Structures are given as structure tokens and as C-alpha cells.
Structure 1
Amino acid sequence: MFWENFGNLSYSTIDGDEIAVVYFRAGYEPGQYHSEKEWEARLTIERSKAIKSPSIQYHLAGTKKVQQEVARLGVLQRFLLESEANLVGQLFTGLYSLDLGPEGDEVIKMAMENPDRFVLKPQREGGGNNMYGDEIKEFLEKVKDTPAREAYILMDKIRPPMQHNYLVRGGTEVKLSEVVSELGIFGVLIGNEKEIMINKFAGHMLRTKLSSANEGGVAAGFGALDSVFLFD
């Protein structure tokens, strides 16, 4: 691979062919950057002309902390029309900051008094990182007076309607069970700091898990792929 710089931009080639797209299969958490070499590589890619999936802006926009800040009253109105912001705001569940200070202290008190109502989320992706129930209470007791709490947000637990269905997964018995589902929407967004060129719907994925399970990631082994059935 060869990188050549032009001012603040660069391009990369392999055997003379310019690299057009960089897809990040990893690099979504600090532990995956083992030295300065990895951070330098990420910076080089971000400065390049290649399309990044995701770019650092979209990567950060998908973090739990940014989601929590966007859910604050009045923030959506900076990016959407008032009517659009009101519609989008109806889709939010409760998201709460644990930043040091009186507001964060009240949130921690609320969580410790009723931990079964919430999910504690770190800035991680891929499933298996969230905390529930008494685990929340025990963890917050340890970090409530330290900056470590700021790496997490608190979210109201979503309680979707239960259904009866079969989960087909390797190594487990197939039987009729109580399950809940989560619908994810895929989108395509291409843009830069000045302009959005493409922003459109690109499909969906339905994940289903046992109603008794906290996590629902398919790759992590907690859930299964499902199909949508629409009816009147």
C-alpha cells in the first residue's frame, strides 16, 4: 500500500489502483488501538479522499453519549425543522447523562433506587457490554464519585410486546417460547462537512430474542434473525 499526500488530503494505492472505500470491521473502541501506529493509521485514512464507512464524524454520531445529548430538549431543533424534530423526539426513550455534577448525581440516585427500570450503557458496540438490574446498582456504587461514571449513559429499559415464536439456533433446542423483537433500519449517508449528497433508506433487519434475555445481538449469540409480517 502506498500513501501520497496533497495538502490536507491524501490518496492510497495498491498496485497502482487508488483505494476508493475503507470499511471498518474493527476500530470502534479504544482497546483496538494498541499503539500510536493504529491511531496514526486512522488519522491517515480520515485525511484521505477515500469514502470511509464510517467516517469519524458518523462514527461519533453513533455513540451512546452523542445519542444521549441529541435527546436533550431543544437539540434536535438545531438540525431539523420544528415539526420534524417533534416527530423524531417521539421515538426517543429516556436517556440520561452520568456526568459529574448535580444532574448526574440525581440520575445515579434514580438508577440505584430502581435499577430494574434501566439499562447502563458504555461507549461500545457489538452487544454484551450493557448492565442490568442489581449489576447497575453494584457498579454505580463503585464509580459514583469518580470520573469513570462519565463513560456511561443511563437509558430507560424498552419493554416491547411479547409474542410466541420459535428460535432456531445452533446447539439449542427448538421450542415455542416467549420472545420480543427489535426492528433496525439501514440507511446510506454520503457527505462531507459542507454537503450531504445521499441520505436514503436501504433496508431493514428484525432481531428476535427470548423475552427473558437482556442482550439481543445475533453475532454474540443472544438473538436470531427474523422476518417482518404485516397485518391490519
Structure 2
Amino acid sequence: MFAFDNNQTREKYINLLRQNPNGYVLKPNREGGGNNKYDDEILKLIENEENHLNSYIAMEKILPPKCTTCLIKPNGKHLLHVECINEIGIYGTMVTNVDTNEEYINDVIGYLVRTKTTDTNEGGVATGYSVLDCLDVSQNNNELSKIFSQEL
């Protein structure tokens, strides 16, 4: 991950993006979805609005494994077998004393799984790009496989 606010490294990072725009994502320093820049959008931003780069951070794109997943449309009547990727976020909590650096709590408290089709870059659930999902950690999911292999 890198930012563009340091004049000593700015040009180096811009050159990295020019050489491989498909390997990075530019994320604005603000909340909300739909504002990330990918692929050719990165090159356009560099060429047309280079002075706006300070409001972005660049992250190396993570390329998760793809899997075939069953998605049920909102009406519940259609089952789609599509190629998807899963994004797993781990939540933690930490309580420390800033004066003594004493750590009282440092625990994993949960996770969130978002699943989206491989043809989209965005990942927001509220914006309709992805769905909330759960992990299947069972060793034997034959019954689920039978259910999901049938059309509803």
C-alpha cells in the first residue's frame, strides 16, 4: 500500500502504476463505495488529474481463487450457477492503555464474507455488487450439493 503525498517517492509509484495498472486499485481516502479506480481508469486519472492522486492510496490487487457458486435471485425462484470470488474480512477488538502499552483485550470477534461475481470490481453489498455469505467449514456437504445442483 502506498500514498502519493511524498514528493520523493511519488514519481516512483506513478511509474509502477503506469507499468502495471491492472495490478493495483486506487482507493479514495473517504467512505462509501463505487469510487475506486481500476485498470484503464488508473491511467486516465494519472494522465488527466495527476494532482488529485494525493486523495488516493494505491493497493496491490489481491487475486483470490475463483469458485462456482449458487446464487438465488431476489424472487427466490431462480438458481444461478456462476463464477464468483469471496472476500473475507476478520473483525477484531483491542483495548490497551496508551500510556503503558498494556494490552487488556486483543481478540478476533467475528468475520464477514462477501461474495461477488468475477465480472465486477466493486464489492458493496448495499450497492448490489455483492451478497453476504457464510463459510462452509464442514467436511461433508453432499446434501447441500444435491440441493444446489437442482433448479428451483
For the aligned pair, the TM-score class normalised by the smaller chain equals 0.7 to 0.9
Q: How much does 1:113 deviate?
A: 2.7
Whether 1:106 and 2:19 are equivalent positions in the alignment is no
Task: Find the residue that maps to 1:175 and give its secondary structure.
Answer: strand
Query: Does the CA-based 8 Å contact 1:143-1:149 persist in structure 2?
Result: yes
Gaps of 5+ in 1: 1-94
Structure 2 CA distance for partners of 1:156 and 1:171, relative to 1, 3 Å: farther
Corresponding residue for residue 188 of structure 1: 93
Pairing partner for 1:177 from 63, 82, 104: 82
Query: Does the CA-based 8 Å contact 1:168-1:224 persist in structure 2?
Result: no
Task: Find the residue that maps to 2:72 and give its secondary structure.
Answer: coil
Pairing partner for 2:62 from 142, 158, 162: 158
Corresponding residue for residue 139 of structure 1: 45
More displaced 10-residue stretch of structure 1: 113-122 or 100-109: 100-109
Corresponding letter in the other structure for 2:9 = E
Pairing partner for 2:31 from 119, 122, 125: 125
Q: How much does 1:100 deviate?
A: 4.3
Gaps of 5+ in 2: 140-152
Pairing partner for 1:207 from 114, 130, 143: 114
Q: How much does 1:226 deviate?
A: 1.2
Pairing partner for 1:223 from 104, 118, 130: 130
Structure 2 CA distance for partners of 1:215 and 1:171, relative to 1, 3 Å: farther
Q: How much does 1:171 deviate?
A: 6.7
Q: Whose helix proportion is higher, 1 or 2?
A: 1
What TM-score, normalized by structure 1, do the two folds share?
A: 0.53
Deviations for 1:93-125, whole angstroms, at most 9, x for unmatched residues? Answer: xx1222242411111122123211110111123
Pairing partner for 1:197 from 104, 108, 124: 104
Q: Report the Cα distance in structure 2 between the residues aligned to 1:180 and 1:231, rounded to whole angstroms.
A: 19
Structure 2 CA distance for partners of 1:169 and 1:98, relative to 1, 3 Å: farther
% identity of equivalent residues: 37
Q: Report the Cα distance in structure 2 between the residues aligned to 1:133 and 1:199, rounded to whole angstroms.
A: 37
Q: Report the Cα distance in structure 2 between the residues aligned to 1:189 and 1:171, rounded to whole angstroms.
A: 41
Structure 2 CA distance for partners of 1:114 and 1:184, relative to 1, 3 Å: same
Query: Does the CA-based 8 Å contact 1:190-1:199 persist in structure 2?
Result: yes
Question: CA RMSD, aligned part only?
Answer: 2.2
Corresponding letter in the other structure for 1:168 = I
Whether 1:115 and 2:13 are equivalent positions in the alignment is no
Q: Report the Cα distance in structure 2 between the residues aligned to 1:119 and 1:205, rounded to whole angstroms.
A: 21
Task: Find the residue that maps to 1:99 and give its secondary structure.
Answer: coil
Q: How much does 1:197 deviate?
A: 3.0
Deviations for 1:50-69, whole angstroms, at most 9, x for unmatched residues? Answer: xxxxxxxxxxxxxxxxxxxx
Structure 2 CA distance for partners of 1:203 and 1:114, relative to 1, 3 Å: same
What TM-score, normalized by structure 2, do the two folds share?
A: 0.77
Corresponding residue for residue 5 of structure 1: none
Q: Report the Cα distance in structure 2 between the residues aligned to 1:193 and 1:102, rounded to whole angstroms.
A: 32
Q: Report the Cα distance in structure 1 between the residues aligned to 2:4 and 2:127, rounded to whole angstroms.
A: 27
Q: Report the Cα distance in structure 1 between the residues aligned to 2:83 and 2:38, rounded to whole angstroms.
A: 20
Q: Whose strand proportion is higher, 1 or 2?
A: 2
